[in-house]
Structure 1
Amino acid sequence: MKCIKMDMQYLTQEHLQGFETYKYSALDTSPLSIYVMHPFWNRVVEFCPKWIAPNVLTFAGFLFTVFNFILFSYYDYEFYASSDDHPEVAPIPRWLWAAAAINIFLAYTLDGIDGKQARRTQTSGPLGELFDHGLDSWSAVLIPTCMYSIFGRTTYSISTLRMYYCLWNVFVNFHLSHWEKYNTGVLFLPWGYDASMLVAIVIFMITSIFGHELWNFNLPYNISAGQTFELTFYISALVSNFPVCLWNVYKSYRDGTGKMRPFTEAVRPLVPVLYFLTLCTLWVLKSPGDIINTDPRSVYLVTGTIFSNICCRLIVAQMSSTRCEIFNWLLLPASAVVALTLVLSVPLNVELGLVYSLTVLATCAHIHYGTCVVRQMCRHFRINCFQIKQHSQ
């Protein structure tokens, strides 16, 4: 019974052997990161006791983003709290905006110092990087969804469908960074990450001081504050990430410095993401119950959770130098839900039941996968995830 619970062997022997020879290789060229954030993190990490394991910092930072998501789900589940058209929905309390800013700041700081803590305590290894990037892939849905509450479903914002596209923009660019490393062997840290985290902190804090009404304005050419928020997602991707990823992959083939995989193998990690993107988009556009407007938060969460699972398996493949999986089993129940919804044109209450069931299944499966992979790596390397072993041990 224990094996069924939390001891499933997701990693093959080939994966584990690949992790044994793994060497961290990343390049951070962001001026903001180099000249501002890293000096700040170098100071902060000195206050961290050396008996605290780096993964404790990583997990604590992730829990701050989860806590934010839970708070906003409670106070603004349907994203109407910032809308004057729905007076029956109470506005979000000012203290919650401040708490959100603090939580994002703490999450960002802990994410910045966990690697430095690992080097201070001489506990650097593949588990820490996998743990860090795996949780980041799940945060890719949690943080932007919380930010959507600032503008909400108002005339100064964007529709829930357009927010769905914004989230997929984040997902695809996050996935591309690890696809880039899958082919080049180097993780080129995107410039947009540091800027987006700092902007989120500032916007939450400003909202806590002046209220959400501050963002009820239009810029020239009738561009609303919410549309400006939307444009930053796409401009950041088109300027600082997407073309850079393609260029780095191309350059690795031109110079012979990358993995030099055949084309079909190089693009293999893109298949499950593109399939899932197509599937979900077809669903939200053709849903008989207009699910993206009926319960957008569930759509965002289930989409982000399944994406995170797909991305985690890519991270495992690129770190262990193994072949990436081309199909994720969570795509089967997702495909079944979409097929039942669209083909049978089920009533809204049935569609909502299917969405909630898929959300629970995907969340449990993702937690199970992450827990089992971490435990399997801990057993293999004879380490503890949340505890630093003494050198004598």
Structure 2
Amino acid sequence: MPILAYKEQRILSPQQLRKLSEHKYSCFSASLLDPLLQPWWNWLVSQTPLWLAPNLITIVGLILNIVTTLILICYSPNGVEPPPRWTCFLCALGLFVYQSLDSIDGKQARRTNTSSPLGELFDHGCDSISTIFVALSACISCQLGHYPNWLFFQCFCAIALFYCAHWQTYVSGTMRFGRIDVTEAQFSIIAIHLVSAVLGPEIWLTKMPIVGVSWNYTILVFITFGYTLNIINFLKMFIEGGSGKNGSSVAGTSVLSPSIPLTLVVLPALMIAQKSPENIFTEHASVFILAFGMVAAKITNKLVIAHMTKAEMEYLDWSLLGPALLFLNQYFNCIVPEIWLLWFTLAWGTQDLLRYCAQVCLEICQHLRIDLFRIPYGPKVLNTSSVGSQSNVGADKNGGTSHRKSKSKAH
């Protein structure tokens, strides 16, 4: 009975696990900064102990990134109060460490001969969470809380574009990075944090000498320009068609099918924020973005798994319970305080995301007979050849990071 109960709770079917074992990572990159950063990443991975598991490197960077952002949020939860300069510096440091560690996890997998589809999935899963915190920290650092609509637009554009990057991968089978993409966005945000740390966050509210608008509007223009470039690249997917039969996705489904889960997250978020009688987004911006961000991270992970297993994506998900309750509560004239349901949405979405990711990792580890955070053999048998050698699974856009980032954000 215990075995039967476990099988009933499994997320991945035997066919999906078989497809996952056959998955090969495909990537194309035209990034401007990646070639310039290769020497730094190669030196960093050469200093990394051979016993350190690649996934452990990724999760350490993610935790540091989350912690530094949460410190910033504590001092400026709505992006209106100027946070202390040292919190902005911490965010810059946390993002730089995360970016560096996330760029060497695949190189470490290659030097230790531990590349696997699980590594790619784990990397994208961490990126889906990091996207939320990086986008939010950038908006707080440049004081976008004074413009709630812009704050909403920037954060949800970052979340949606990260999802669209994997949507494009689900359709074409290849992850594509433009000239201005993830790495460029990350270092731009690091620069924003450093400016706030040196000159103070208030600098973004000062008027430009000639134009007469505040400096953070300049940031909005550049970020929106970057978003536009990525949207154009994304839309090319519909012209080129998918890699499946008759231009379908890798799973043989419609190229438009992934739009449904994304719409079920972004559209309710917009309606709830605009129609809230308690101004729930304006008054609790960070909680709102984190709550819906966790839901978006869950559906993004499901899309990544659908791509890697060449399976049809499920549209409805239990993570949507929180947004549904918020929507229904507004429909019935807020019989429950909205802030209660918002905190419930954050708690429910977070636990649901963590439970889902843990279960999927467990099933894949058991199927591939590997460990998630441990290299299961001694250093004597490790492959210590050049980090630039060819990998059988997970060769990334840098020729090294077995599962490098996905698009997005302000991440």
TM-score by length of 2: 0.85
- Give 3-state SS (helix, strand or coil) of 1:218's partner: coil
The one of 166, 170, 174 equivalent to 1:186 is 174
Correspondence 1:51-90 to 2 at 5 A: 51-82=51-82
CA displacement 1:146-168 (0-9 Å, x = unmatched): 12222326xxx652232111111
CA displacement 1:258-292 (0-9 Å, x = unmatched): 75579962211111101221111111110111101
The one of 221, 225, 228 equivalent to 1:238 is 228
Residues 142 and 201 in structure 2, CA contact (< 8 A), matched pair in contact too: yes
- Give 3-state SS (helix, strand or coil) of 1:209's partner: helix
Residue equivalent to 2:17? 16
Residue range with higher mean Cα deviation, 331-340 or 311-320: 331-340
Correspondence 1:211-290 to 2 at 5 A: 211-219=200-208, 220-239=210-229, 241-253=230-242, 265-290=254-279
Residue equivalent to 2:113? 122
Residue equivalent to 1:303? 292
The one of 107, 114, 131 equivalent to 2:98 is 107
Residue equivalent to 1:87? none
Residue range with higher mean Cα deviation, 115-124 or 249-258: 249-258
- Give 3-state SS (helix, strand or coil) of 2:332's partner: helix
Residue range with higher mean Cα deviation, 7-16 or 255-264: 255-264
Q: Which runs of 5+ in 2 are unaligned?
A: 383-411
CA distance in 1, matches of 2:376, 2:246: 37
Q: What do you get for the CA RMSD once the two structures are aligned?
A: 2.6
User: Taking structure 1 as reference, are residues 14 and 238 closer, same or farther at Cα in structure 2, changes over 3 Å only?
Assistant: same
Residue equivalent to 1:175? 163
Residues 25 and 185 in structure 1, CA contact (< 8 A), matched pair in contact too: yes
- Give 3-state SS (helix, strand or coil) of 1:188's partner: strand
Residues 142 and 196 in structure 2, CA contact (< 8 A), matched pair in contact too: no
Residue 137 in structure 1 maps to residue 124 in structure 2 = no
Shift of residue 389, structure 1, vs aligned partner: 1.4
Residue equivalent to 2:85? 94
Shift of residue 254, structure 1, vs aligned partner: 9.5
Residues 244 and 250 in structure 2, CA contact (< 8 A), matched pair in contact too: no
User: Taking structure 1 as reference, are residues 146 and 183 closer, same or farther at Cα in structure 2, changes over 3 Å only?
Assistant: same
CA distance in 1, matches of 2:247, 2:64: 36
User: Taking structure 1 as reference, are residues 36 and 256 closer, same or farther at Cα in structure 2, changes over 3 Å only?
Assistant: farther
Question: How many residues matched?
Answer: 376
Shift of residue 200, structure 1, vs aligned partner: 1.5
CA distance in 2, matches of 1:308, 1:360: 14
Q: Which runs of 5+ in 1 are unaligned?
A: 83-91
Correspondence 1:159-170 to 2 at 5 A: 159-170=147-158
Shift of residue 257, structure 1, vs aligned partner: 10
Shift of residue 236, structure 1, vs aligned partner: 0.6
Residue range with higher mean Cα deviation, 12-21 or 246-255: 246-255
Shift of residue 343, structure 1, vs aligned partner: 2.5
- Give 3-state SS (helix, strand or coil) of 1:11's partner: coil
| Structure with more helix by fraction | 1
User: Taking structure 1 as reference, are residues 367 and 357 closer, same or farther at Cα in structure 2, changes over 3 Å only?
Assistant: same
User: Taking structure 1 as reference, are residues 278 and 44 closer, same or farther at Cα in structure 2, changes over 3 Å only?
Assistant: same
TM-score by length of 1: 0.88
Residue equivalent to 1:43? 43
Residue range with higher mean Cα deviation, 223-232 or 268-277: 223-232
CA displacement 1:302-332 (0-9 Å, x = unmatched): 1110000010000000011111112222223
